[in-house]
Amino acid sequence: MVRISPSILSADFANLEAELKSISSADLIHVDVMDGHFVPNLTIGLPVVKRISEVTNVPLDVHLMIENPELWAAKYAQFAHSVTFHFEAAKDALATITSIKAAGAKAAMAIKPATSFEDFQHLCGDLDMLLVMTVEPGFGGQSLIEGALEKVTKARSFADDKGLSLSIQVDGGVTVGNIASIAKAGADTFVAGTAVFEAKDRNLRIEELRALAITL
């Protein structure tokens, strides 16, 4: 199933409720939580994510770019459909996955462009979703790193061979021009910040992205 998850990192944070209404046809809303340590940028935390969850009916897809995710992931899971932590930040990835699931959300793990598939493949069986970063995490509006898509292909065939129901998400530099090839590589869930929020009619852009991802 193809899902489009607009990243509100590109939204107007002074008008978030209106911005959320403008993407009502999204499958998920991607919320980037950054701590200024794991990544150089700083965004929003738990109280803001809680309020966002109260003013939209679209399920939240929370992407934690923070150190010590094991201390926070379950707290975000109360307000989210899925919680994604970074493999590179986790002291105990399996315990973090378990804590997200126990709190009632889907458990997802993100990997930076330089992390290789062999480093984390043993965790794929425990995950609901894998997030392959196609930019260095921290900022919106960057260009997709083509080389990172190889991990999407590897993860897709690994999951299919093992019969795992693993969703694969791609985040960073997704555009109308490249979403079809990302889908071909094996992704089913697409984060799009700039590509959605730059559009005059964001719901129309979401439909356009979804249609391009479905047409294989």
Which positions are annotated as active-site residues? 32, 171
Q: Which of residues 177-206 bind ligand DX5 (CB under 6 A)?
A: 191-195
Q: Does 174 bind ligand DX5 (CB under 6 A)?
A: yes
Backbone region of residue 89 per phi and psi (left: phi > 0; alpha: psi in -120 to 50; beta: other values):
alpha
Summarize as ranges the residues that interact with Zn ion (CB under 5 A). Answer: 32, 63, 171
Tokens 């959605």: give the residue: 196
Q: Supply the minimum distance, in Å, between the C-beta of residue 191 and Zn ion.
A: 5
Among 59, 69, 173, 186, binds ligand DX5 (CB under 6 A): 173
| Strands (E) located in 9-115 | 29-34, 60-65, 82-86, 106-111
Shortest spacing between CB 36 and ligand DX5, in angstroms: 13
Q: Is 36 left (phi over 0), alpha (psi -120 to 50) or beta?
A: left
User: Of 7-15, 16-24, 43-51, 150-158, which segment contacts ligand DX5 by CB under 6 A?
Assistant: 7-15
Tell me which residue has tokens 């984060």. Answer: 191
CB of 108 to Zn ion, least distance (A): 11
* Helices marked H in 103-146: 117-120
Please report, as ranges, the residues that interact with ligand DX5 according to CB under 6 A: 7, 9-10, 30, 32, 63, 135, 137-142, 171-174, 191-195
